[in-house]
């Protein structure tokens, strides 16, 4: 089931957050060829399929693991790989819609019948990244739920943009 921190982050805050991540870890992105590769710059929005999904990793978490399709394309399975999934916020101004971003982490999974728990270091970094989000975005009550929102997007949230 995992745990997540949802947010609504503009490009400016996302750039600062990405720099913070790069200063402390490695970011993987599956480029057009489909194989995950480390990146040092955010993919341009809409530039490639999957531009919105990244994987955060540190070597201290252990070896990165890949799954493979029947066609030989490698991919990261965030359930059992030692990574934090980072989904970027998508703002569609033309239809007044925002797809929330999120950090997502699964700390345990089954390998056949054996329950495997991931290293506490991953959870510690997840908490650190969550603390960054909570410290740098504005907390906003929205429909009884707490949202973490970039200041530039507060009006959109308050003025009826559909949140996904």
Count of structural domains, the chain: 1
pLDDT tens-digit map of 127-151: 999 999 999 999 887 677 788 999 9
Range(s) of the domain holding residue 35: 3-163
pLDDT tens-digit map of 34-89: 678 887 888 877 777 677 888 898 889 888 888 888 877 778 888 888 999 999 99
The sheet with strand 162-163 has its strands ordered as 90-92, 97-99, 162-163
Q: What percent of the chain has pLDDT over 70?
A: 96
Q: What is the pLDDT of residue 16?
A: 95
Instruction: Please list, in sequence order, all residues whose beta carbon lies within 8 angstroms of the beta carbon of residue 139, skipping any fewer than 6 positions away.
Output: 146, 147, 148, 149
Q: What is the pLDDT of residue 129?
A: 95
* pTM reported for the whole predicted model: 0.86
Instruction: Please list, in sequence order, all residues whose beta carbon lies within 8 angstroms of the beta carbon of residue 124, skipping any fewer than 6 positions away.
Output: none
Q: What token pair was written down for 133?
A: 């989000």
Q: What is the pLDDT of residue 34?
A: 65
Mean pLDDT value across residues 91-115: 88
Q: What token pair was written down for 138?
A: 């504005």
Q: What token pair was written down for 14?
A: 């996302």
Burial status of residue 115 (CB atoms within 10 A of its CB: 0-12, 13-18, 19 or more) = exposed
What mean pLDDT, rounded, does the chain reach?
Answer: 86
Mean pLDDT value across residues 97-116: 89
* Cα distance between residue 80 and residue 134, in whole Å: 27
């Amino acid at each position: 089931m995992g745990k997540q921190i949802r947010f609504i982050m503009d490009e400016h805050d996302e750039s600062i957050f990405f720099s913070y991540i790069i200063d402390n870890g490695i970011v993987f992105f599956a480029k057009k060829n489909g194989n995950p590769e480390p990146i040092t710059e955010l993919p341009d929005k809409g530039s490639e399929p999957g531009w919105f999904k990244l994987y955060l990793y540190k070597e201290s978490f252990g070896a990165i693991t890949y799954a493979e399709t029947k066609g030989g394309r490698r991919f990261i399975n965030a359930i059992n790989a030692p990574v934090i999934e980072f989904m970027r916020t998508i703002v569609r101004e033309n239809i007044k819609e925002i797809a929330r971003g999120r950090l997502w982490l699964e700390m345990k999974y089954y390998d056949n019948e054996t329950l495997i728990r991931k290293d506490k270091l991953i959870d510690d970094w997840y908490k650190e990244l969550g603390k960054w989000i909570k410290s740098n975005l504005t907390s906003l009550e929205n429909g009884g739920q707490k949202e973490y929102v970039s200041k530039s997007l507060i009006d959109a949230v308050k003025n009826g943009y559909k949140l996904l």
